[in-house]
Amino acid sequence: MAGQTTDKRYGKVAMILHWVIALLIIGQLAGGTFFTSLSFATHSELRISLTQTHKAIGLTILALSVFRLIWRLTHKAPALPGGMSVFERLAAKFTHIVFYGLIIALPISGWLMVSPYKNDISFNVTIHFVTFIHWYNIFYRC
């Protein structure tokens, strides 16, 4: 079926998840570095609003990454190119596992960091799980 993973390339869902998560993480790195450079004394409102947006996007990354992991575990990936050595195959597998771990651990670490504070994210968590369900519906129909 069109858009499905084949032996040669990933399917539509896997590719969309890959690029959306990659772009969001790059945005988070740039955005996080930017808003933490703002002074509370002169840019307090902007800093707070960017921090809340950062948390919301971070949780979206977490939801998408968990979904991506489930998708990966339940769908076959394309075969690695022929002619790779055993070491190269192991290194590719190891790198994939580490990256899945990182895209899940990174937002969880941010979440843990803010959990003790008053300005928490419980409302955002609800919103993001609702958003996640909508995304799932969209992907499921691809």
Q: Is 28 in the site for ligand HEM (CB under 6 A)?
A: yes
User: Which residues 6-25 are close enough to bind ligand HEM by CB under 6 A?
Assistant: 25
User: Which residues 32-61 are close enough to bind ligand HEM by CB under 6 A?
Assistant: 32-33, 36, 51, 54-55, 58-59, 61
CB 21 within 8 A of CB 65: yes
CB of 73 to ligand HEM, least distance (A): 20
CB of 65 to ligand HEM, least distance (A): 8
Six-digit token pair at 91? Answer: 């290194």
CB 21 within 8 A of CB 63: no
* CA-atom Rg of the chain in angstroms: 18
Q: How many residues bind ligand HEM, per CB under 6 A? A: 19
- 């307090």: which residue's tokens? 44
Six-digit token pair at 68? Answer: 């991506």
**Cα end-to-end span (Å), the chain:** 10
Six-digit token pair at 118? Answer: 């008053």
Q: Is 69 in the site for ligand HEM (CB under 6 A)?
A: no
List the one residue from 106, 131, 136, 139 that touches ligand HEM (CB under 6 A): 106
Q: How many CA atoms lie less than 13 Å away from 100 in the CB half-sphere? A: 13
Identity of the residue, 11 or 107, whose beta carbon is nearer to ligand HEM in the bound complex: 107
Q: Is 114 in the site for ligand HEM (CB under 6 A)?
A: yes
Residues of this chain that interact with ligand HEM (CB under 6 A) are 25, 28-29, 32-33, 36, 51, 54-55, 58-59, 61, 106-107, 110-111, 113-114, 121
